[in-house]
Amino acid sequence: MKFLLVEDNLDLANAVSSRMRLDGHVIDHASNLEDATAFVETEEYDLILLDIMLPDGDGRDFLKRHRASRLDTPVIVLTARSQVSDRIGSLDLGADDYVTKPFDHAELEARCRAVLRRKSGSAKSTIEIGGVVFDPVAGHLTVAGETLSLRNRELRMMELFINAPGHVFSKQKLADRLFSYDDSVTDNAIEVYVGRLRKHLEPSDLKITTLRGLGYRLDHDH
């Protein structure tokens, strides 16, 4: 996925970008409306994350121009402003969704996924390894010609593994990715989800290996 992040606070932009890259996305960062306009004119993005208060203007004006020029790239507004009226205002202007700062990265991700799913059934985002086709947007996994829908946590775990085959993920890392901060997580819960994925992947060449004391890894049998 290719994202454009329009955010004037560099620290926040770096944090969000690095987190998004960690998930395997490509991120361009614009810190003002001028740059953002230039990016949009030259590149094609799957999604735009747009801050409202920018040094050279209001993000909503950008949104208006963006929609006026018939660009249908989905836009998620990042707002720090007073809650209700502002959020509804941005939706009226053509934003697909909004996230209030400070946001849970998992929520941002879930919203991006929901927006992308609504906007397109886009097959271009699929990943194919070892006879398995994974569509993270639709949440579909096709194994041996059979397509099944993944539950949210299965989906996120699968995304993590498939973006970095051969990489070892500790239980903690997986828990961080799958659960929010107010969920109480047991190691057992991770095992449950790993178990489910293993079952889904059984007919394919992919398998999840347990490395005792270290974690889990996605392997590709040849």
Partner 1 sequence: MTTNPNVSGSLRNRLVLTLIGGAAVLAVLLFFAVRNYAAQVAQQGQDNILEASVTSILDAAALRDGVLEVDIPYAAFSMLTTPTDDRVFYAIYQDGVFLSGYEDLRLAAAPAQSDWSFTSGELRGERIRQVSASRTLVGLGRQTEIEVVLGQTQDALSRTLDQISRNAAFLGLGFFLLTAALSFWITSTTIGQLNKLTTSVTRRGPQDLSPFKKPVPREMAPLVMSLNSLMGRLDQSLSQSEDFIAEAAHRVRTPLATVRSYAEATLHRVERKENREALRAMVRAIDESSRAAGQLLDHAMITFRTDHLVREDVDLVELIRDLVQRLTPIAEMKELSLSMTGDPTVPYSGDPILIQNAVRNMIDNALKYAPLDSTVEIEITGKPEIKVSDSGPGFLPEEIETLTRRFERGKNAAGTIGSGLGLTIAQDVAIAHGGTLVLTNQPSGGACVILSL
Q: From the list 2, 65, 101, 167, which residue makes contact with partner 1 (rule: CB under 8 A)?
A: 101
Q: From the list 42, 182, 212, 222, which residue makes contact with partner 1 (rule: CB under 8 A)?
A: 182
Whose structure tokens read 């194994």? 143
Q: From the list 2, 65, 151, 167, which residue makes contact with partner 1 (rule: CB under 8 A)?
A: 151
In the bound state with partner 1, the residue whose beta carbon lies nearer, of 9 and 73, is: 9
59 membership: H or E segment, kind and range:
helix 59-68
Q: With contacts defined by CB under 8 A, name the span among 26-34, 124-132, 147-155, 204-212 that binds partner 1.
A: 147-155
Burial of 33 (0-12, 13-18, 19+ CB in 10 A): buried
In the bound state with partner 1, the residue whose beta carbon lies nearer, of 69 and 180, is: 180
Residue 84 corresponds to which tokens in the numbers above? 């209700």
Contact 148, 195 (CB under 8 A): no
In the bound state with partner 1, the residue whose beta carbon lies nearer, of 28 and 154, is: 154
DSSP E strands, the chain: 2-6, 26-30, 47-51, 53-54, 57-58, 75-79, 97-100, 127-129, 132-135, 140-143, 146-149, 168-169, 206-211, 215-220
Regarding 105 and contact with partner 1 (CB under 8 A), the answer is yes
With H, G, I as helix, E, B as strand and everything else as coil, classify residue 139. coil
DSSP annotation of 54: E
Regarding 214 and contact with partner 1 (CB under 8 A), the answer is no
Regarding 29 and contact with partner 1 (CB under 8 A), the answer is no
In the bound state with partner 1, the residue whose beta carbon lies nearer, of 83 and 147, is: 83
Q: From the list 29, 60, 66, 111, which residue makes contact with partner 1 (rule: CB under 8 A)?
A: 111
For binding to partner 1 (CB under 8 A), which residues are involved?
9, 11-12, 15-16, 18-19, 22, 53, 80-86, 88, 97, 100-107, 110-111, 113-114, 151-153, 170, 172-173, 176, 180-184
